[in-house]
Amino acid sequence: MLVLLFTFFFLVNMNYQSLDTDAAKPMLLAVVLYLLVFVGSFLLMFNQINENQQVIQQLLEEKEKMKKSFLKIMSNRKMTKIAYDDIVYIESLSDYIKVITSNKEITSKEKISRLSERLPDTFLRIHRSFIINTDRIKEHSLDEVLVDDIRLNIGRSYRKEVKELLNNNASN
């Protein structure tokens, strides 16, 4: 940053009309411009590397979530494992959650906001009370989703995000 500032001041103070045929000043100008381009490119590369590292970190975290192909929750004082593929949707009942699978319902004393952090990207929060498995969506409209054979409302504050994600998934 200091080099960029120096080169800027040098270029501003340079009197271009009085450039001699002497090779020193045009050569110095060329060196300063070269340094300006080099440092600018280096800074852009450094920013790109940082952004790529953040993306890689997010992908690694998502991979960790997917490695565990099941959700562990405490139900009836026992640790229960539920396969992600079996989960149809998750419903919040204030301080409790109800996990609805293809063949049973499991209740646990946990907040839905904490649970949503542990779920992979195939799950989508559509309402303050519902998280759905996007792999099980049969159809969707602006204000409701059909998951297996159950219609669930999309909350007003979630509509924009849900619409974007579902339309992106439909196009892929």
- Structurally, the chain folds into a number of domains equal to 2
Listed residues 19, 45, 66: the one ending a domain: 66
Give tens-digit pLDDT for 43-89: 889 999 999 999 999 888 877 766 667 888 888 889 988 888 889 99
Does 105 lie in the same domain as 51? no
Listed residues 66, 82, 116: the one ending a domain: 66
| Cα atoms in the Cβ-side hemisphere of radius 13 Å centred on 16 | 4
Give tens-digit pLDDT for 101-152: 988 999 999 888 888 888 888 889 999 999 999 888 888 888 889 998 899 9
Does 152 lie in the same domain as 86? yes
Listed residues 66, 81, 109: the one ending a domain: 66
Range of the domain at 95: 69-171
Does 136 lie in the same domain as 52? no
Does 90 lie in the same domain as 58? no
What was the pLDDT predicted at 113? Answer: 87
Query: Which one, of 117, 84, 80, lies nearest residue 101 by Cα?
Result: 84
Does 99 lie in the same domain as 47? no
Residue 118 sits in a domain whose CATH number is: 2.40.50.1020
Does 86 lie in the same domain as 36? no
Distance CA 47, CA 108 (A): 44
Does 132 lie in the same domain as 91? yes
**70, 82 contact by CB (below 8 A):** yes
Residue 19 has pLDDT above 60, yes or no: no
Q: Could you say which DSSP state residue 155 is in?
A: P
